[in-house]
């Protein structure tokens, strides 16, 4: 048995604390064209899950399928045991799921505070407490709440987007490439923030092109290839798996 096979066998053992479960999901954007092909994933309470793989593997499509933005044709998605397959995004937000897209993730004409307030439009009460929570994680934002989001750098916009998703107090956060387009220093900051969010009790599922860094910080990882979960295991197991190194880490996420 290979390292990846032993890691996979450990991952699929049933536990009672599954928060998100993706079971054999097939999904795509166009009729008859599938991006995901019987893809599966489990995220348990408090875990940080990393999803890596080559371009076009279906990583972002998987997140969007969970968040109701891509039509699921086959399979099932559950949240805390409740089926949520193809549920609309606004209903998922109300159920405690937050999503941060890779691009176009802030309202540039609004201030930082107005962006954060938009994150609570479904539940405006408790704004002060939530602002305090997110500015503890992102103290830089707390000092600049009146600044327009359109004047921010890419890394700062990413902080605003993650903060806005946290305003509703989600127990699941979906992150689509939080380090994309950032400088190495800003990438490190982004990963540190992700860890802080996760340590605050938010189950986190992160798609990331910087494969090595992702696997270094995640509890468990999934390697997607051609719309399927090709390898699963702990971040450390995948980092040291010869097949994963040879097929994926040689070209992904170079330090």
CA dihedral 139, 144, 149, 150 (to 10 degrees): -130
- pLDDT, the chain, mean: 90
pLDDT digits (tens, 9 = 90+) for 78-134: 999 999 999 999 999 999 999 999 888 999 999 999 999 999 988 888 899 999 999
**Rounded CA separation 222/21 (Å):** 13
Contact present, 20 and 42 (Cβ < 8 Å): yes
Q: What is the pLDDT of residue 224?
A: 96
Kindly state the DSSP code that residue 246 receives in the 8-state scheme.
I
**Rounded CA separation 255/172 (Å):** 29
Contact present, 203 and 47 (Cβ < 8 Å): yes
Q: What is the pLDDT of residue 238?
A: 96
What is the average per-residue pLDDT within 131-142? 93
**Rounded CA separation 19/40 (Å):** 14
Confidence of residue 223 (pLDDT cuts 50, 70, 90): very high
Q: What is the pLDDT of residue 124?
A: 80
Q: pLDDT at residue 9 above 60? A: no
Q: pLDDT at residue 15 above 50? A: no
Q: What is the pLDDT of residue 251?
A: 53
- Of residues 16 and 53, more confidently modeled: 53
pLDDT digits (tens, 9 = 90+) for 52-85: 999 999 999 999 999 999 999 999 999 999 999 9
Q: Which CATH class is domain 3-249?
A: alpha beta
Q: pLDDT at residue 252 above 60? A: no
Among residues of the chain, what percentage have pLDDT more than 70? 91
Neighbouring C-alpha atoms within 13 Å toward the C-beta of 188: 3
Contact present, 239 and 209 (Cβ < 8 Å): no
In sequence order, what are the residues at sequence separation of 6 or more whose Cβ sits closer than 8 angstroms to the Cβ of residue 175? 63, 100, 162, 194, 204, 205, 206, 207, 208
Q: What is the pLDDT of residue 5?
A: 40
Q: What is the pLDDT of residue 155?
A: 87
**Rounded CA separation 143/125 (Å):** 22
| Element housing 23 (H / E) | strand 18-27
Q: What is the pLDDT of residue 247?
A: 84
Domains of the chain, by residue range, sit at 3-249
Q: pLDDT at residue 10 above 90? A: no
Q: What is the pLDDT of residue 254?
A: 44
Least confident among 6-20, 50-64, 93-107, 146-160:
6-20
């Amino acid at each position: 048995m290979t390292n990846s096979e032993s890691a996979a066998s450990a991952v699929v053992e049933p536990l009672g604390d599954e928060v998100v479960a993706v079971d054999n999901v097939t999904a795509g954007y166009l009729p008859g064209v599938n991006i995901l092909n019987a893809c599966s994933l489990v995220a348990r309470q408090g875990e940080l899950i990393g999803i890596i793989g080559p371009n076009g593997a279906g990583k972002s499509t998987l997140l969007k399928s969970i968040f109701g933005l891509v039509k699921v044709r086959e399979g099932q998605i559950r949240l805390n045991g409740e089926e949520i397959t193809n549920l609309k995004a606004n209903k998922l937000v109300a159920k405690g799921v937050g999503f941060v897209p890779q691009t176009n993730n802030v309202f540039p004409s609004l201030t930082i505070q107005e962006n954060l307030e938009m994150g609570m439009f479904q539940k405006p009460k408790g704004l002060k407490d939530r602002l305090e929570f997110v500015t503890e994680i992102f103290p830089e934002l707390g000092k600049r709440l009146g600044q327009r989001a359109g004047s921010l750098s890419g890394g700062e916009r990413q902080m605003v987007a993650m903060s806005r998703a946290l305003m509703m107090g989600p127990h699941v956060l979906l992150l689509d490439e939080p380090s994309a387009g950032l400088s190495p220093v800003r990438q490190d900051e982004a990963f540190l923030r992700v860890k802080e969010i996760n340590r605050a009790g938010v189950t986190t599922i992160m798609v990331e092109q910087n494969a090595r860094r992702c696997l270094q910080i995640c509890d468990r990882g999934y390697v997607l290839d051609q719309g399927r979960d090709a390898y699963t295991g702990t971040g450390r197991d995948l980092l040291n798996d010869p097949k994963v190194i040879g097929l994926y880490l040689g070209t992904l996420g170079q330090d």
